Amino acid sequence: MFNDRPLTQSLIGPRIMALLDSDPEAFEQEAIEYFALGYPGRTIVRFDNPTFYLRDDRPLKPYFKDKQRQQR
């Protein structure tokens, strides 16, 4: 959980995973680009091979903000 929002778990394909051993810098850049396209508005916060944990940085819509306030 991050700010009362669960983290998204995701995997990536074998082409990018193969870079982990051969070129860690390229692996990191490819993973960032991959998730920027596939999960816009989310940031990688942790990598636990092979799982990535992504934080949702998109702003809440007004409806959901009101719902959260009512629950507190």
pLDDT tens sequence for the chain (72 residues): 556 678 999 999 999 999 999 999 999 999 999 999 999 999 999 999 999 999 998 887 776 555 555 555
Which run of H or of E encompasses 18?
Answer: helix 14-22
Q: What is the pLDDT of residue 6?
A: 84
Q: Global pTM?
A: 0.73
Q: What is the pLDDT of residue 71?
A: 56
Q: What is the pLDDT of residue 61?
A: 73
In order of 12, 56, 70, 71, the CA distances from 34 in angstroms are: 8, 15, 36, 35
